[in-house]
Amino acid sequence: MTNRKHPLVFAHRGASGYAPENTIVSFKKAMELGADGFELDVQLTKDNEIVVIHDEWLERLTDGRGFVRDYTLEQLRQLNFNKNFPEYGVQRVRTLREVFELVKDSDIEVNVELKTGIFEYPGLVEKVLALAEEMDMKDRVIYSSFNHYTCVKIRELLPDARIGFLYGDVFIEVEQYVKDHGGDAIHPAFYLLQDPIHAIKAKQLGLEINTWTVNEPAYMELCCQLGVDRIITNYPDVALGIVEKFKSSN
């Protein structure tokens, strides 16, 4: 457990308020803006490569159609992963290995969210853990998932992994549940922290609090007051400004 006096700032899907989400430019932008880390989402291709993409399907984010898992990496590489930020031109899918290569020589932390909620992606957990080990990223990765069986599996395979349980709805005694299932951190949607009792309970249990997706300055301020450990945001520069203000007034 940390007794951090102020939150760290993590860029959600990279600095996705400014650049196409989960692309190399969004991760570079996060680093340029001074984020402490970034969050990204991973899935498996048809040929079992770990790719960085949020949706299970291609339509929202690319010029392709269908499911990610039905394409090989080479096929996915033909697609444009930039639909919303013309200033960044064509962007290609990235593997987790490529993103780890980008940050290897920095002190950036990476929150790897395993997207096993719709498709199970057998082998994804093992592959992600092996890659982090191979690339000496083990100590700089926080693993998270909405699929809590995935969280438990990570704990079984890597006892000292840092693991966050994601959730976006109200659960009874969620902090105790996360603790009982081997979590190190709660990863709630930010609106679930409005009642301070949740932050208090998490702290009492020695759990970190990493919350998403906090894009409004007022909620960023609330995160500071509550003792949140990591603010996950599309606008890391805004959050860094709020955290600085909080630090200087405390």
* Phi then psi dihedrals of residue 65, to 5 deg: -135, 150
Q: Which of 54, 148, 187, 198 is catalytic?
A: 54
DSSP state of 227: T
When CB distances are held under 5 to 8 angstroms depending on the partner's kind, the choice from Mg ion, ligand G3P, none that residue 235 binds is none
Q: Which is nearer to ligand G3P, 75 or 119 (CB)?
A: 119
* Binder among 154, 185, 220, 232 for ligand G3P (CB under 6 A): 232
Kindly write out the interface string for residues 111-130 of this chain, putting x where it contacts Mg ion by CB under 5 A and - elsewhere.
--x-----------------
Q: Which residue is nearest to Mg ion (CB)?
A: 113
148 belongs to the catalytic site: no
CB-count exposure of residue 164 (10 Å: 0-12, 13-18, 19+): buried
- Amino acid of residue 177: Y
39 closest CA partner among 136, 92, 114: 114
* Binder among 26, 43, 82, 144 for ligand G3P (CB under 6 A): 144
* Phi then psi dihedrals of residue 143, to 5 deg: -95, 145
Contact 77, 71 (CB under 8 A): no
* Separation between Cα atoms, residue 156 and residue 171, nearest integer Å: 24
188 closest CA partner among 205, 206, 213: 213
Q: How far is the CB of 210 from ligand G3P (least distance, A)?
A: 8
Contact 186, 174 (CB under 8 A): yes
Q: How far is the CB of 41 from Mg ion (least distance, A)?
A: 4
Length of the chain: 250
* Binder among 54, 148, 162, 230 for ligand G3P (CB under 6 A): 54
Q: Which is nearer to ligand G3P, 140 or 187 (CB)?
A: 187
12 belongs to the catalytic site: yes
Q: Which is nearer to ligand G3P, 68 or 232 (CB)?
A: 232
Q: How far is the CB of 195 from Mg ion (least distance, A)?
A: 24
Residues of this chain that interact with ligand G3P (CB under 6 A) are 12, 39, 41, 54, 113, 144, 166, 187, 212, 232
Residues of this chain that interact with Mg ion (CB under 5 A) are 41, 113
